[in-house]
Structure 1
């Protein structure tokens, strides 16, 4: 059907549908003819009829013919809906949206072209198509045209989407692992700091206790000296001042020793390794977060 712009495949499909419609139309016309034959054989047996009898016979014939025509029109509409259903189902398979223009169904020029086709092209191809015993089902859209490209593009996008999902899962697992490593490292550092703090607290408590004992001993000695003689009060006071200086000096030495202990601890391999692990984990977390932001944006 070159006039309507169809290809050979679609032209054959139109021919099959028109053959189906024509067979139904011929069958319905035969039914209507049989209605008239029945009327002739059953009612037209007399030579003369009154006007009322003729009117009654025509009314009965009208009811029968009207019922047959109405049934055929309903059946034609329903078969057209089924045909559209097949076309729309194939279109949705390839993510296409078809549109129909009902006003074109009343286009006189196109209707004349279809009628001309039925008289000429349809008759010339009728003999060839009659050789097909089994009527083929509606074939898919032409895979060599736009639908093939669309199908390939959909497949490509689906594959890319699957790859992105797999990559995202990998990044999420890496981020989870990095967060777990960071949490464990932070917990280990806190435990180490707590142990260090406990050790320093014990050492300070011991030193303070020793100093308190020394001061108490000096106080007792001073008290005994004051009780023994008042003449040695000045010497005792000097001793007390000296003891206080010694106490201050010991406290200063204690503070220096504490700083030295903290400096030595920071120089240990465990402390340096822990700091390096935390630094590496923080860098890994930064890289993973950058990658996650990149893929989330895409």
Structure 2
């Protein structure tokens, strides 16, 4: 089974064009045959002819055949240009640029492949294709561009939804970071307050044990050792907590900064997507206004409005008469 490298739809289109070309070729061959038959019927009525008479008949036949062949070649070239015009017009609607290689038109291998395709697939599928309905081209001004814009709008809407979801996630993360920062600040205040309470307690203990310095050297030594150990332990604890708090605070600040940057970039991306979506909707609306259905509906509405105005005028005139 011959294959031209097309998909099924394009192969059917090629078969339809080859059928059209074959019908035109058969019609032109019938015209050439009729030229020879006319010559036989009108000129070949005697048994013998001179050289001049035969030359005259052949010259006349040559003029007719040359004219028919030339007309067929010109018509074929113009038909091919119209076919290319359809293809290029459809491509331009989707902002595509097609290219052709003229040298491939004289590729003997490809020409033989097309001839083999015409002998096998074309003949086997000709009867089936004749019975089936011929496919129609998609309207250039309505279907193709509208479908493309609808796909683009759907893609932009999906991307817009993703950005909105990401924005909500970033906002929740930012609020969580702010809550953590507030908790850390409250913890720091509590630590500072506890440290102040401990210092007050140490001062009270020092005042209360002041007589020990006067009366008993042993009591003074024990109180001083106990207070020094407690102060050292409290200072170590406060230092560790303060270091942990500063580390957590710096991490929260960095995370909050990253979240804010991501939030700003997400908002900018969301605005860009919304702008593209609005532009695509405007283009789609403008394309829809250029369709035949929109123009017909607008014309019908205009006629209906004129009829309603006329009926209102007539009704006002009858009411005034009453």
TM-score by length of 1: 0.48
TM-score by length of 2: 0.44
| Larger Cα-atom Rg | 1
Higher relative contact order (CA 8 A, sep 6+): 2
